[in-house]
Amino acid sequence: MEIWNSRSLDNNQRFIYALIAGFASAVLLGIAYGIIYGFLRVQSAVLYLFVGWCIGYVIRYTGHGVHNRFAVAGACFTLLAIIIGDTIAMCGGLSGIPMLLKNPGMWGTLLENWLRIYLSTNLSSILGLAMRALGVYMGYHYSVIL
């Protein structure tokens, strides 16, 4: 069958395509969430579930993988999208990103503020972390064909 179907991809090529599509979707969804949160100033933790599902769907659709490495890639790219979205939201939207890139000394302050916000002991931050973890799980779960 492989001789007659010269356009078929092997498992490694599908994984590379899934990595490229997953990275692109993680960056785009992270930027979109950061802009929405930075503009509205209303955090909707349900969007993390949607981000995880979308990244998992993109990886599953492009990679058609059944191996565990597709699921791990989905979880990692969902985490990347969450970090990008939170960073853009904390910088005040896309206008704060050039300032952050010009001044790397602010990265430590940004990380410290992020840890203070999300590792505090109030119910809102605990639920926010739980929804982020659930979004990463959805990216993990929906990245493979079951």
Choose among 107, 109, 129: nearest CA to 118.
Answer: 129
pLDDT, mean of residues 68-86: 93
What percentage of the chain carries pLDDT values higher than 90?
A: 39
pLDDT, mean of residues 10-37: 90
Residues 36-62 have pLDDT tens digits of 887 777 667 788 999 999 999 999 999
Confidence of residue 35 (pLDDT cuts 50, 70, 90): confident
How is residue 104 written in tokens? 């790397």
SS3 106: helix
Confidence of residue 74 (pLDDT cuts 50, 70, 90): very high
DSSP string over 2-65:
TTT-TT---HHHHHHHHHHHHHHHHHHHHHHHHHHHHHH----THHHHHHHHHHHHHHHHHH--
Query: Which residues, at least 6 apart from 126, have a Cβ–Cβ distance to it below 8 Å?
Result: none
Provide the mean pLDDT of the chain.
85
Residues 115-131 have pLDDT tens digits of 887 777 778 778 888 89
Neighbours of 104 (CB within 10 A): 8
pTM of the prediction?
0.84
Neighbours of 25 (CB within 10 A): 21
Greater model confidence, 127 or 81: 81
Locate the domains of the chain by residue range: 11-141
Residues for the chain: how many in total? Answer: 146
